[in-house]
Amino acid sequence: MTRAAVPGLSSRYPIGEQLPALYADDDFAQRFTAGLDTVLAPVFATLDNLAAYLDPRVAPADFVDWLASWVGAGSDPRWPVELRREAVARAVELHRWRGTRRGLTEALRLALGVHAEVTGDGGAAWSSTPGTPLPPASSDTGPLVTVHPDGDAPVDPARVHAIVRAMCPVHTLCRVEILPGPSTDEGR
């Protein structure tokens, strides 16, 4: 989409009408300013509708991607435009829940349309004795993120892992399990 030189778009503020009376009947001045009106009409139209450009629900599709960069929303060009609009509109909410179970499950649902469950908390170890050695690292510690596709569409493991890495707390190693079919939980 382009906002330059929209054919047939007239300026709401023609320059020729704002010239002093001396130039009102000058054919050259009127033609020259009409050319400027053609160039400036899209600029005025954009400025007149600025609020709509900043609202992700009604902004042009290319502006939605630009707005996503403003608010740090995860936006993938492969997503349909409606999903990108929702990601931008919910960016503040998702940032607020980042690093929590709710934030992780909502991010996976929004980005991939999957149902996710987070179990475990990563655990913690402490000692009241100074100089105690650190506990041994274990590969099965950390939260487990179980992903169920909501439909028949396959889930892209690389995208799941990328979202989990981005949404899990930095100090936590999150494990991911992708199941082949939809969840059979009755309480969903």
pLDDT tens, residue by residue, 102-134: 998 998 888 888 889 988 876 667 788 998 888
The two structure tokens encoding residue 137? 């690292």
Give me the residue spans of the domains in the chain.
Answer: 16-48, 100-123+141-183
Q: Is residue 50 classed exposed, middle or buried when 0-12, 13-18 and 19+ CB atoms within 10 A define those classes?
A: exposed
CA 93, chain centre distance (Å): 11
Whether the CB-CB separation of 148 and 182 falls below 8 Å is answered with yes
Of 56, 75, 80, give the one whose Cα is nearest residue 159. 75
User: What pLDDT sits at residue 2?
Assistant: 58
Residue 101 has pLDDT above 80, yes or no: yes
Provide CATH code, domain 100-123+141-183. Answer: 3.30.300.30
**Tally of CA atoms within 13 A in the half-sphere of 5 that contains its CB:** 2
The two structure tokens encoding residue 108? 């996976």
Of 71, 57, 49, give the one whose Cα is nearest residue 3. 49
The owner of tokens 């929004």 is: 110
> How many whole angstroms separate alpha carbon 36 and alpha carbon 15?
8
Q: Is the pTM of this model over 0.85?
A: no
pLDDT tens, residue by residue, 36-83: 998 888 888 888 888 988 899 999 888 888 898 888 887 677 778 888
> How many whole angstroms separate alpha carbon 84 and alpha carbon 62?
10
Of 186, 182, 183, 175, give the one whose Cα is nearest residue 120. 175
Phi, psi at 175, each rounded to 5°:
-100, 150
Q: Is the dihedral of CA 68, 73, 79, 81 positive or negative?
A: negative
Residue 86 has pLDDT above 70, yes or no: yes
User: What pLDDT sits at residue 31?
Assistant: 93
